[in-house]
């Protein structure tokens, strides 16, 4: 049994010793002391179904024995910066990762986070093209260092630091966007930005395939193929941010596959290490060459413990058929959520793919008025019923359901039943 400090004691210390910027969604925040597969346990041993997976991070499940064993064994053998020496843990993982990517995307640079991966990807694109201008999408999230904060396009995540050279294109949001589901029409804005906001050439276009922090927004069909064409003609590279949508979560291995495109650079983090700090930029040998102009150094990037975890994750995804599971269970969950939408006016939209799903709450379906308070209330009540989900979207009115990929149909049913019960009592 747990004998550590209570949630109240931790909260008091957190207020005194930790940054005031950190947030929690619940009226009384949860003190999680253990995780097993798709479950979390609080200080009293109460079990919760984890429908958020550490923000789409835990893909194999909490405490997966294969991943834990890989981390422990490698830690015992060697943990070091492997920038200066050789070690097979790094090359084994890089080779395995390359086998999961299409075409000539095979050269990896390892980092410690998604932010670092996107910073590096943007720098590589700028070096390769000799251009500074980058296009990203409104409502996107790409990180919190100055370059990636510039690429991020939601005011709540932006501070007043210099964020130069990023233009934000109209978001191809099928629910709230002006062109509905017509991806090609939205892509015209990318051309307009190039025509009227740049010299005619750009370094890169960066986007998520399904916006995570932005509230599980699936880009309108046909958008990425059209945008990629336009960007390529302007000499730019296409960067796919797979930090949330990668590693089998959408039922595809990569989110960009849902739009049938092939990026020039892919960035990843979160699910790549099942919760261990690891990120990566993968690109072609030709593009990767630009980093030989100078020395790109990252002390912990690609350390053997994290890359051993990464390799174990790839093996678990394969062995346990987690990609198929994300598709099958995710489709069932989405069907059930859509049935809830028919039952409750409050649900304005259900969207996403695989186990990356969103439910948007609105007080008026015509006006699409964000039901912000209701969203918080339902989340809080679902927690009381033993189910944890996330939330996001610019207005904070979208549930984000991104559980560990070992989620079962029964788990999906339990989650929807808890949501149904809570909505029925409002
Ligand atoms: N890209 C996307 C799509 C993300 O969701 C996030 C994190 N929410 C990041 C990049 C940044 O990753 P990190 O927090 O590991 O720096």
DSSP states along 378-389:
HHHHHHHTTEE-
Distance CA 394, CA 372 (A): 10
Give residue 376 CA to ligand 1 midpoint distance, Å: 23
Residue 81 confidence (pLDDT): 85
Tokens of 239: 């960067």
CA atoms within 13 A on the CB side of 184: 0
Expressed in angstroms and rounded, the spacing between residue 187 Cα and the centre of ligand 1 is 24
pLDDT in tens, 153-199: 999 999 887 778 999 999 999 999 999 999 999 999 999 999 999 99
| Residue matched to tokens 């069909």 | 221
List, in sequence order, the alpha helices (H) in 99-247.
Answer: 114-129, 146-151, 183-197, 223-233
Task: Record the tokens describing residue 260, joined without a space.
Answer: 């049938």
Q: Which of these, 401, 324, 359, lies nearest to 50 by C-alpha position? A: 401
Could you tell me the pLDDT band of residue 211, with boundaries at 50, 70 and 90? Answer: very high
What is the structure's pLDDT at 304?
97
**What confidence tens digit (pLDDT) does each residue in 294-312 have?**
788 899 999 999 999 999 9
Q: How many CB atoms lie within 10 A of CB 19?
A: 6
Reported confidence tier of residue 134, pLDDT bands at 50, 70, 90: very high
Residues with Cβ < 8 Å from 182, sequence gap 6 or more?
220, 222
Ligand 1 centroid – CA 410 distance (Å):
30
The answer, yes or no, to whether residue 112 has pLDDT greater than 80, is: yes
The minimum-distance atom of ligand 1 relative to the CA of 242 is 3
Does position 57 have pLDDT exceeding 90, yes or no?
Answer: yes
The helices-and-strands tally (H runs, E runs) of the chain is 13, 18
Do residues 245 and 254 lie in contact, with contact meaning Cβ atoms separated by under 8 Å?
yes
Question: Candidates 55, 115, 306: which one to mutate for ligand 1, based on the most atoms within 8 Å of Cβ?
Answer: 115
420 Cα–ligand 1 center, Å: 31
Q: What residues form DSSP beta bridges with 347?
A: 361
Query: From CA 47, how far away is CA 37, in angstroms rounded?
Result: 12
Measured from the Cα of 113, ligand 1's closest atom is: 15
**Which of ligand 1's atoms lies nearest the C-alpha of 140?**
3
The tokens for 36 are 């097993």
How far away, in angstroms, is 78 Cα from ligand 1 center? 28
Asked if 271 and 56 touch (Cβ cutoff 8 Å), the reply is: yes
- Among 112, 118, 139, 143, the mutation site with the greatest number of ligand 1 atoms within 8 A of its Cβ is 143
Which ligand 1 atom is nearest residue 277's CA?
15
Token pair in block for residue 72: 């422990």
Q: Provide the residue ranges of all domains of the chain, joining segments of one domain with +.
A: 7-60+321-424, 65-319
**How confident is the model over 339-351, as a mean pLDDT?**
98
Residues near 322 by beta carbon (within 8 Å), at least 6 away in sequence: 59, 60, 248, 316, 405, 406
Q: What is the rounded average pLDDT for all residues in the chain?
A: 96
ipTM for the complex shown: 0.99
Separation CA 252–CA 217 (nearest Å): 17
Q: Does 7-60+321-424 carry CATH code 3.30.930.10?
A: no
Fold of 65-319: 3.40.640
Residues at CB less than 6 angstroms from ligand 1: 113-115, 118, 141-143, 208, 212-213, 241, 243-244, 269
Position 36 scores a pLDDT of 97
SS3 (DSSP) at 58:
coil
pTM reported for the whole predicted model: 0.97
Looking at residues 222-248, what average pLDDT do you find? 98
Please name the residues in contact with 60: beta carbons below 8 A apart, sequence gap of 6 or more: 66, 67, 274, 313, 316, 317, 320, 322, 404, 405, 406
d(CA 92, CA 309): 11
Best of 23, 242, 243, 280 for a ligand 1 pocket test (most atoms within 8 Å of beta carbon): 243
Our mutation pick for probing the ligand 1 site, out of 54, 114, 281, counting the most ligand atoms within 8 A of Cβ, is 114
Quote the DSSP letter at residue 157.
Answer: G
Structure tokens at 412: 């999906």
Burial string for 32-68 (b: 16+ CB within 10 Å, else e) reads bbebebbbbbbbeeeebbbbbbbebbbbbbbebebbe
Q: Are 190 and 205 in contact (CB under 8 A)?
A: yes
How far is residue 191's CA from residue 168's CA, in Å, rounded to a whole number? 12
Measured in residues, the chain has a length of 426
From the CA of 212, give the closest atom in ligand 1: 5
């Amino acid at each position: 049994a747990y004998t550590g400090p209570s949630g109240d004691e931790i909260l008091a210390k957190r207020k005194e010793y930790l940054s005031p910027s950190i947030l929690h969604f619940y009226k009384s925040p949860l003190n999680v002391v253990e995780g097993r597969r798709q479950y979390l346990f609080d200080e009293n041993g109460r079990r919760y179904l984890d429908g958020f997976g550490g923000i789409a991070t835990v893909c194999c499940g909490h405490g997966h024995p294969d991943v834990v064993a890989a981390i422990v064994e490698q830690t015992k053998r060697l943990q070091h910066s492997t920038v200066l020496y050789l070690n097979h843990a790094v090359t084994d993982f890089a080779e395995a990762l390359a086998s999961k990517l299409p075409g000539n995307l095979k050269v990896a640079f390892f980092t410690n986070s998604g932010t670092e991966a996107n910073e590096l990807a943007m720098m590589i694109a700028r070096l390769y093209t000799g251009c500074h201008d980058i296009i990203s999408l409104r409502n996107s999230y790409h990180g919190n260092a100055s370059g990636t904060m510039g690429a991020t396009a939601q005011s709540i995540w932006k501070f007043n630091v210099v964020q130069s050279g990023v233009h934000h294109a109209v978001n191809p949001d099928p629910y709230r966007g002006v062109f509905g589901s017509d991806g090609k029409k939205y892509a015209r804005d990318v051309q307009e930005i190039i025509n009227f906001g740049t010299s005619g050439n750009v370094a890169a276009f960066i986007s998520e395939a399904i916006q995570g922090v932005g509230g599980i927004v699936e880009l309108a069909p046909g958008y990425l193929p059209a945008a990629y064409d336009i960007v390529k003609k302007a000499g730019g590279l296409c960067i796919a941010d797979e930090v949330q949508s990668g590693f089998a979560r959408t039922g595809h291995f990569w989110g960009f596959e849902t739009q049938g495109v092939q990026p020039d650079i892919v960035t990843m983090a979160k699910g790549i290490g099942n919760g261990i700090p690891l990120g990566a930029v993968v690109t072609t040998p030709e593009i990767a060459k630009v980093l030989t102009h100078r020395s790109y150094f990252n002390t912990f990037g690609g350390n053997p413990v994290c890359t051993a975890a990464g390799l174990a994750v790839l093996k678990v995804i394969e062995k346990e058929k987690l990609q198929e599971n994300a598709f099958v269970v995710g489709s069932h969950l989405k069907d059930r959520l859509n049935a809830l939408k028919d039952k409750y006016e409050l649900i304005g939209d259900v969207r996403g793919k695989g186990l990356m799903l969103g439910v948007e709450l609105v007080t008026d379906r015509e006006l699409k008025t964000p039901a912000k308070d209701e969203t918080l209330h339902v989340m809080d009540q679902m927690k009381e019923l033993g189910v944890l989900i996330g939330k996001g979207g610019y207005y904070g009115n979208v549930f984000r359901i991104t559980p560990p990929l070992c989620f079962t149909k029964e788990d999906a049913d339990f989650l929807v039943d808890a949501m149904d019960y809570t909505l029925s009592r409002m």
